[in-house]
């Protein structure tokens, strides 16, 4: 008769322990799913064939092929470099008159999932403005890109001589002409200085 209470107690304890084990398993099963979202956009980013147009002063631009190794779109929202006090992400589009003009891109550079985004002369690019020192062919420039999740990535690009890719700026052309006049030593590339040189 004394064994029945002990058996009942042991059975109850066993059931309680089993419930705790099952509860523990249930709570840990969601942890791996949370960990899958810890990768930053910067960690999925790479760049190929990066380069910067040589310039004595005024303005220049950086180009290359932006790559995204992740399964989600990543977005470059800003760029910075010690060589330029003002850098913008630019797109080149046709205006109402059919002329190709440059403007700051709305929303940044969207690099598609497992895809690429091309920055090239005459197309989209990273615009450097207000250059106070020459950027000579053979030098290197380091950039920091900021992504939509506030993560950052650095890359270094060589400076190369390049002539071509004339576009106008959306807005007041006289402002751009004034900035071009800063680059007097590069006036042999007269075609490049009509409105905007990059």
For the chain, the domains span: 3-35, 42-193
Query: Hey, what CATH topology would domain 42-193 get?
Result: Immunoglobulin-like (2.60.40)
DSSP 8-class letter at 6: H
Q: Which of 86-90, 98-102, 167-171, 176-180 has the highest mean pLDDT?
A: 86-90
Q: What b/e readout covers 50-83, taking b as 16+ CB neighbours within 10 angstroms? A: bbbbbbbbbbbbbbbebbbeeeebbbbbebbbeb
Taking the C-alpha atoms of residue 128 and residue 61, their distance in angstroms, rounded to an integer, is: 5
Across 5-14, 29-38, 152-161, which has the greatest mean pLDDT?
152-161
Higher pLDDT, 130 or 98: 130
Percent of the chain at pLDDT exceeding 90: 57
Is 128's pLDDT higher than 50?
yes
Mean pLDDT of the chain: 77
- Burial label for 163, CB within 10 Å (0-12, 13-18, 19+), is middle
Burial of 182 (C-beta count, 10 Å sphere; 0-12/13-18/19+): middle
pLDDT at 63: 98
* Residue 28 confidence (pLDDT) above 90: no
- Compute how many other C-beta atoms are within 10 angstroms of the C-beta atom of residue 152: 15
pLDDT above 60 for 184: no
């Amino acid at each position: 008769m004394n064994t029945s209470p002990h058996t009942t107690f042991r059975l109850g304890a066993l059931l309680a322990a089993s419930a705790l084990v099952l509860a523990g398993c249930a709570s840990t099963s969601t942890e791996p799913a949370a960990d899958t979202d810890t990768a930053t956009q910067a960690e999925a980013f790479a760049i190929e064939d990066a380069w910067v147009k040589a310039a004595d002063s005024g303005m220049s631009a950086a180009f290359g092929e932006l790559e995204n190794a992740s399964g989600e779109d990543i977005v470059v929202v800003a760029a910075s470099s010690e060589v330029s006090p003002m850098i913008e992400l630019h797109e080149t589009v046709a205006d109402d008159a059919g002329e190709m003009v440059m403007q700051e891109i709305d929303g940044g550079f969207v690099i598609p999932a497992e895809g690429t985004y091309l920055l090239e002369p005459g197309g989209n690019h990273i615009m450097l403005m207000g250059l106070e020192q020459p950027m000579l062919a053979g030098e290197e420039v380091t950039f920091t890109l900021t992504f939509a999740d506030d993560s950052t990535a650095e890359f270094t690009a060589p400076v190369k001589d390049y002539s071509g890719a004339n576009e106008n700026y959306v807005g007041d052309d006289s402002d751009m002409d004034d900035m071009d006049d800063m680059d007097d030593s590069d006036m042999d590339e007269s075609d490049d200085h009509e409105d905007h040189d990059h």
